Amino acid sequence: MTKRRIIILVFPGFQNLDAMGPLEVFAAARDADGRAPYQVELWAEAAGPVVTSSGLQVLVPNGFGPAPPDCDTLIVVGGGGTEDACRNRRLTDWIAATAGRARRVASVCTGALILAASGLLAGRRAVTHWNWCGTLAALHPDVRVETDPIFVQDGAVWTSAGVTAGMDLSLALVEADWGRDAALAIARDFVMYMKRPGGQAQFSATLAAQATGPGRIGQAQGWILDHLDADLSVAALAGRAGMSPRNFARSFQRDTGTTPAEFVERARIDAARRLLEDAPGRSIEAIAATCGFGHADVLRRAFQRRTGISPGDYRDRFRSTDRSANP
């Protein structure tokens, strides 16, 4: 059997998990006959030790030469060195040339910015780490950036959200190649969920609030998260912040990149997700009231719009089984 060649491209300052997570997924894959179907390789601009964002040195055996003609899948990772990598024309030209010969190309986390710098995301849907979606959209307005999904497929180009989402993407690639059973076997072995598009989103209102930091807007975000069933209109929030509604709305969007209403709905959806996962006995109506939606129908419409599935389907897919590692 000819193995499918998977090339994972790294660079100085790459995030170790961006590369090693997918590498382990592909290395663990087995086809229907129990054979290892992939040949997984690390590549860099020059062969030798490459320092990760955490300071770990990784020995990379393959350096740039002509674009490999037999690359099945090219995966570009992200990390602290992403911006330097985007400016490296030799690297982006090699990516473009290799991608042109590969069956498919993918990125992990901020690797999407490198794909965009290589000209591979123009006119395509893509995702990256939630905290870098705005940067990707600003630098490359021809890319249709989606902020929520764990990963996005647009034709032969796949992009994933932050860090460990690269393993979810890799599971999806294995599933596309060898079927659900092959991917599920890896997920069970790695103690992972089989996350799918339209399932759990990467955006967390809590993380966004932490990123905003102190100040009146950050305090307002914290109050929202703790009082989801309260009046969270702009007028009410502005009054608590001691600001005019117009100034509050402008300041909120400037500091957070989103409107107050958008943040409130996302925070309520986040809370509803947690209750759907962890409170199987609680009704949809009760969850809607707790999270500030008021009625179950309002929750259902917002949930379907945000996630692509109903609250009931989400509960069936992601609810906790309440299993413990301890007897």
pLDDT of 324 > 60? The answer is: no
- What is the mean predicted confidence (pLDDT) over 189-195? 72
- What is the mean predicted confidence (pLDDT) over 181-193? 83
Top-level class of domain 205-318: mainly alpha
| 136-140, 171-175, 210-214, 288-292, range with the lowest pLDDT | 210-214
Q: How many CA atoms, within 13 angstroms, populate the side-chain half-sphere of residue 225?
A: 14
pLDDT at 32: 83
Q: pLDDT band for position 140 (50/70/90)?
A: very high
DSSP for 44-60 reads ESSSEEEEBTTS-EEEE
For the entire predicted model, the pTM comes to 0.70
Which amino acid would we find at residue 127?
V
Closest CA to 159 of 69, 87, 99: 99
pLDDT at 321: 45
SS3 assignment, position 14: strand
pLDDT at 319: 61
pLDDT in tens, 33-56: 889 999 999 999 999 999 999 999
pLDDT in tens, 229-244: 999 999 999 999 999 9
Catalytic residue at 109? yes
As a whole-number percent, the residues of the chain with pLDDT over 90 amount to 65
pLDDT at 201: 55
More confident residue, 19 or 321: 19
- What is the mean predicted confidence (pLDDT) over 101-127? 97
More confident residue, 57 or 195: 57
pLDDT at 197: 42
Those residues with Cβ within 8 angstroms of residue 264's Cβ, 6 or more apart along the chain or in another chain? 224, 232, 292
Domain positions in the chain: 4-189, 205-318
d(CA 165, CA 144): 19
pLDDT of 135 > 70? The answer is: yes
Q: pLDDT band for position 302 (50/70/90)?
A: very high
- What is the mean predicted confidence (pLDDT) over 130-159? 92
d(CA 250, CA 274): 30
User: Cα dist. 231→11, 96, 238, 245, 277 in Å?
Assistant: 48, 51, 11, 14, 26
pLDDT at 193: 64
Among 86, 109, 133, 291, the active-site one is 109
Closest CA to 175 of 158, 163, 126, 164: 158
Structure tokens at 327: 């007897």
SS3 assignment, position 123: coil
State the CB neighbour count (10 A cutoff) for residue 111: 31
- What is the mean predicted confidence (pLDDT) over 161-187? 90
CATH number (3.40.50.880, 3.40.50.10440, 1.10.260.40, 3.40.50.10090) of 4-189 reads 3.40.50.880
